[in-house]
Structure 1
Amino acid sequence: MKKKIILIDGSFYLYRAYYALPNLINSKGYPTGAIYGFINMFNKIIKINPNSYFLIVFDNKGISFRKKIFNKYKSKRKNMPNNLSIQINPLLKIIKAMGYNTISINNIEADDIIGTLALQAEKKDYFVYIFSLDKDIAQLVTQNIKIVNPINYSISGPKEIYYKYRIFPEFISDFLALSGDSIDNIPGIPGIGDIIGKNLINKLGNLKYIYNNLDIINNINFRGGNSIKKKLIKYKKLVFLYHKLTKIKTDINLNLNDLNLINKPKKNYLKSLFKTYKFNKWLKKYK
């Protein structure tokens, strides 16, 4: 039976926990909502995935290669609230004391860590389940790599991704480069929205194939084919730049074999942490 590895988008859970419990503090006035909410959700993931390996992936400080080549990338994102940032180190200590591992790398986005580890795990014959709501992650989906919705726990493989987006996983990055991604502040080609972008991909293929076959756009039942062709030619350099932003890297310098996926819980240390942050709910478990 294949082993299962769970890769968790830690940044998503961190913010979700923080905004769900923004006013939770311990008796000393220290904010604890993000810590409590995160561990609560993580425990649920552990419970519904017995006999699995777990790794939580976080974004880290620094400037990613995407920001270097396109300064407007994610420029609409707000800075992390101070009440959240001061909860990160205590959270990491608790996760480690529970016997689980986290990973973050300066200047490397979490998506690229997840992409690299997911492909390595697949080659080692693991089933990979990625807990994330990030649309970019959909491009990693195969028969052995699936996305789990962190809110309702629905599982998406290649068919589910196609039903949701009307394109197959391997074309997600091409589609986002063409149509844009407002969340990451990627403009896409003006006038090429979701519908035209999906039609181009479904009828022609990926970006390279589209640009190698511009002359047949008028022959494949496209309304306004000449206008679309002119836009594609005008914005060619930009769309290939955008594709560098939307394509998840799967070859960063990281080896799954070097990560400790199984560790013994440090129960006494964990109890002391739970006492410090007044998490009596979990303290009872270790009496």
Structure 2
Amino acid sequence: MKKKIILIDGSFYLYRAYYALPHLMNNKGYPTGAIYGFINMFNKIIRMNINSYFLIIFDTKGISFRKKIFNKYKSKRIKMPDNLIMQIKPLSKIIQAMGYKIISIKNIEADDIIGTLSLQAEKKNYLVYIFSIDKDITQLVNKNIKIVNPINYSISGSKEIYKKYGVYPKFISDFLALSGDSIDNIPGVPGIGYKISQNLINKLGNLQCIFKNINNINNINFRGGDNIKKKLIKYKKLVFLYHKLTKIKTNITIDVDYFSYLNFKITPQINYLKYLFKIYELKKFNKNYL
């Protein structure tokens, strides 16, 4: 029987927790909403996945390679609130005192860490479950790697990804490069939305195949084939740039062998946890660990 590993997109849960409880503070006025909300949600995931291994991955401050090659990448994102920034270190201390590993690498996005860990885990014969809502992450899905919606906990494999996006996981990065991704501020090709992108990919294949067979667009029952062809030619250079942005890296260097630390039996630092829970007034969690 394969071992089960849970990879958690920590940045998603961090923001979700903060905006759910933006005004929660301890009696000294220190913000604690993100800490409380994150630990609460994480405990639920732990309870739902008994006999599983866990790794939590966070984004860090820094300039990723995507930002270097496309300055507008994620430029519409709102700056992290100061009250949230203040809670990151305390939260990290608590998670690690609970006995779990946190992974973040300067200038490397969490998606690329998750992508690399997923393939490494698969090679080590794990079943991988990624808790993330990020569209990009769906490109990692295969028979051994699934996506779990962190809001309703629904599990998606290849069939579910196809049903939702109209293309299979291996084509998600091509799909987003063509149709665009407003969340990451990737424009896509003007006038080529979801439907046309789906048709191009399902009938011709990935971007390389689409441009290789661009003269056949009129032969595959496309309405306005000439116009689509002209747009693709006009934006060819940009669409391949967008593809670099939407393609998750699966071969980044991770210096620590986190798999060697994984263990079913978690050993929390009881006294330190008790101290942290007292400072941030999180006594509710005492029953879980103390």
**Pairwise TM-score range, normalised by the shorter structure:** over 0.9
Aligned residue for 2:211?
A: 211
Whether contact under 8 Å (2:173, 2:246) holds in the other structure is yes
Deviation track 1:99-123 (CA, whole Å, cap 9, x = no partner) reads 0010111100000000000011011
Distance 1:237 1:286 in 2: 54
Aligned residue for 1:179?
A: 179
Unpaired runs of at least 5, structure 2: none
Aligned residue for 1:261?
A: 262
- Give structure 1 regions of 4+ aligned residues with deviation exceeding 4 angstroms: none
Residue 272 of structure 1 pairs with residue 275 of structure 2: yes
Distance 1:231 1:53 in 2: 47
- Superposition pairs of residues 26-105 of structure 1, within 5 angstroms: 26-105=26-105
Aligned residue for 1:157?
A: 157
Whether contact under 8 Å (1:117, 1:255) holds in the other structure is no
CA deviation after TM superposition for structure 1 residue 286, in Å: 4.8
Secondary structure, counterpart of 1:86 in structure 2:
helix
Whether contact under 8 Å (2:166, 2:198) holds in the other structure is yes
Aligned residue identity for 1:226: D
Distance 1:184 1:109 in 2: 12
Aligned residue identity for 2:30: Y
Whether contact under 8 Å (1:120, 1:256) holds in the other structure is no
Aligned residue identity for 1:243: H
Distance 1:102 1:248 in 2: 20
Whether contact under 8 Å (1:173, 1:246) holds in the other structure is yes
Residue 188 of structure 1 pairs with residue 191 of structure 2: no
Aligned residue for 1:127?
A: 127
Label 1:130 to 1:286 Cα distance change in 2 as closer, same or farther (>3 A). closer
Deviation track 1:140-183 (CA, whole Å, cap 9, x = no partner) reads 00010000000110000001111111110000000000011110
Aligned residue identity for 2:39: I
Distance 1:148 1:110 in 2: 16
Whether contact under 8 Å (2:36, 2:282) holds in the other structure is yes
Secondary structure, counterpart of 1:190 in structure 2:
coil
TM-score (norm 1): 0.98
CA deviation after TM superposition for structure 1 residue 282, in Å: 1.4
Aligned residue identity for 1:206: N
Residue 282 of structure 1 pairs with residue 285 of structure 2: yes
The CA RMSD over aligned residues, in Å, is 1.1
Label 1:271 to 1:211 Cα distance change in 2 as closer, same or farther (>3 A). same
Aligned residue for 1:200?
A: 200
Distance 1:135 1:285 in 2: 33
CA deviation after TM superposition for structure 1 residue 261, in Å: 2.6
Distance 2:289 2:258 in 1: 30
Distance 1:188 1:7 in 2: 29
CA deviation after TM superposition for structure 1 residue 239, in Å: 0.4
Aligned residue identity for 1:20: A
CA deviation after TM superposition for structure 1 residue 258, in Å: 4.2
Unpaired runs of at least 5, structure 1: none
Distance 1:215 1:182 in 2: 29
Deviation track 1:73-129 (CA, whole Å, cap 9, x = no partner) reads 000011100000000000000000000010111100000000000011011110000
How many residue pairs get aligned? The number is: 287
Whether contact under 8 Å (2:98, 2:289) holds in the other structure is no
